[in-house]
Amino acid sequence: MTRGCHIPSRGTLATSIAILLSLCALRTVAAEDPPAWPAAQTRLKNANAIAAQRGEPAASAKIKDAAHRAKQLLAAGNAAAAEQAVRDAEAAAGLDAGGATMSGIPVYHPTAAMAEQMTRLRADLDTALRAHDLPAVRRVIAQMRQVLGDQAGLPCLASPGKRAEPKPIEQRAVVDVFLAALDNSKPVLGQVAAGRPVGDNPVRFYAELVAACCDVRPLVKRHRPDQLDHLDQLVLGACYVIAALQQPDGHMPSPDPNGKPDAKGRVHWIVSPAEEGGSQFDTGEGGAALLIASVTYAKPEWTAAGLKAADWAATQPCVRNFNYTACSVYLLAEAYRTTRNRKYLDAAVDKWELGLAPAQLESGRWIDAHNARTAYHVLLLRAVTTLASLCPDNSPHRDALRASSAQGVKSLIDEFSRLGVTNTGYALPVLLRQQKLDPSCDPRLALTIDQTVAAVLSLCTHDGRPHLAASPASLVSAAHAAAE
């Protein structure tokens, strides 16, 4: 199993520093800059940021070299050759020539002035969110829309999707693929089943396994009851790890990105909550997994731990990285599902109304380039669709939540129709949840589900040996979507 590849991970301090240093390498003394350099530099910075986000150091090195060549060529008055050097840098990052698209898809490509204004506005947004000032949040979002213009809601990067022909498949066959994929990951999952953390995997890694195994358990019981003990042991071990890592205040820690394992392979954990709100990610994942498992296995200690995480999340401010807030919304919705205590529903709705709804555009995407990426878009939609499915019919927020869900899913369907299936993480669970909410929201929904199922199964059986090339959540959802 590839560690942590299925749930989008928040940026680490090391990654942020690496991006900052690599961007600084593109800077020179302003007094020596050729007149055309600022515009070229902005494009080079955009390319370098994308290469860093994709984790491609070789591309970053090519971009640095191209930046050096471009500046020298501009100083020599060779604008055509300098333009080619900049395009070489963009190609290294996966951008099309000109830097405005990737694989023909428009992506965020700010001018220097736009980037500067957005930096200021993001700080203003964070201040307004932390102050719980909804009018101020709306004002800042309106200013962002004006600054971004037609770039509002464009992702910072895009990639081609996968197309696979939908074929009839029996549910038992998909369950067998899932179980075989777990078995093929035994070197790692055997340690998890024994209740031992594996390497520097974050809490979300264990949480994803727990939620998927609980979701598939009724199907395993129906089709492969001989495998229930193995499945249950994996959940037991993963929940033990999550609960053991939970901090006294309820939040989940993060592996130290700069730490090295000790002689016994143990990883150092950062136990203080991240100031920028990032701890809401793993706390949301881990707390929700414990609550889901507590219902499946009737474990009151898991309920208590999950609610402790939810109580912590309820006290946290909404932050400018919307997917962090979304993880808290998701956790609080699951806490309401588990307890039917209105305080959790009210807290989830409050966070959605303040921290998510104002930033969703008519296109269905969230306004900033980071959260407009498909991986984060589906994470946001998971929170919205979960909350919408639990919101009572008499709630004044029910219709707005369902409209938000439908808009976001339509955007996802548009993308899959144009590019193929670009996400095999939480896209399929979101599509299935939307189908239960409102199957008529888009006439393409059923076909998109079939195509996504086909893409997931194709990835997980590509080499004839089942493996978790898609997320466990998606593979289990494919089993639910298959014919019984």
Q: For the residues of 361-412, what is the DSSP string, one character each? A: -TTSSBSSTTTTSHHHHHHHHHHHHHHHHHS-TT-TTHHHHHHHHHHHHHHH
pLDDT band at 412 (very low <50, low <70, confident <90, very high): very high
Give yes or no: residues 49 and 182 share one domain: no
Q: Is residue 15 predicted with pLDDT exceeding 60?
A: no
Q: Is the predicted pLDDT of residue 293 greater than 60, yes or no? A: yes
Span 189-239, pLDDT tens digits: 999 999 999 989 999 999 999 999 999 999 999 999 999 999 999 999 999
Residue 34: what pLDDT?
63
Q: Evaluate whether residue 144 is within a structural domain.
A: no
Calculate the average pLDDT of the chain.
91
Residue 146 in domain = no
Give the mean pLDDT of 400-411. Answer: 98
Query: At residue 16, does pLDDT exceed 70?
Result: no
Do residue 232 and residue 376 come from a single domain?
yes
Tell whether 222 and 88 lie within a shared domain.
no
Give residue 14's pLDDT: 44
Please check whether residue 243 lies inside any domain of the structure.
Answer: yes
- Predicted TM-score of the model (pTM): 0.87
- Kindly state whether residues 304 and 400 are assigned to the same domain: yes
Q: Which of 83, 99, 115 is the last residue of a domain?
A: 99
Question: Which of the four pLDDT bands, split at 50, 70 and 90, describes residue 49?
Answer: confident
- Return the pLDDT at 220: 98
Q: Tell me the average pLDDT across 161-185.
A: 95
Residues 180 and 63 in one domain: no
pLDDT at 12: 43
Pair (78, 183) in one structural domain: no
What's the pLDDT score for residue 53? Answer: 74
* 484 contacts 218 by C-beta, under 8 angstroms: no
116 has a pLDDT exceeding 60: yes
Average pLDDT over residues 267-286: 95
Predicted pLDDT at 33: 56
In a domain? residue 164: no
Residue 477 has a pLDDT of 98
90 and 176 in a single domain? The answer is: no
Instruction: Verify that 196 and 73 share a domain, yes or no.
Output: no
The conformation of residue 446, written as its DSSP 8-state character, comes to H
Cα separation, 364 vs 6, in Å, equals 23
In a shared domain, residues 387 and 473? yes
pLDDT of residue 251: 98
Q: How many Cβ atoms sit within 10 Å of the Cβ of residue 239?
A: 28
Report yes or no on 298 lying in a domain: yes
Q: Pick from 99, 131, 161: which residue ends a domain?
A: 99
The average pLDDT across 380-407 equals 97
Q: Which residues, in sequence order, are CB contacts of 317 under 8 Å at separation 6+?
A: 129, 130, 132, 277
Name the domain boundary from 70, 99, 128. 99
Domain tally, the chain: 2
β-bridge mates for residue 147, sequence order: none
- Give the rounded distance of the alpha carbon of 166 from its chain centre: 26
Radius of gyration of the chain (CA): 23
Judge whether 178 lies within some domain: yes
- Residues spanned by the domain of 334: 171-481
Instruction: Give the CATH number for residue 385.
Output: 1.50.10.10
* Confidence check: pLDDT of 274 > 80: yes
Same domain, 46 and 183: no
Q: Quickly state the pLDDT bin for 142 (edges 50, 70, 90).
A: very high
Please indicate, yes or no, if residue 118 is contained in any of the structural domains. Answer: no
Cα(282)–Cα(254) distance, rounded to whole angstroms? Answer: 8
- Residue 462 placed within a domain: yes
Whether 78 and 177 map to the same domain: the answer is no
| Crossing angle for the helix pair 300-315 and 342-355, to the nearest 10 degrees | 40
Do residue 275 and residue 402 come from a single domain? Answer: yes
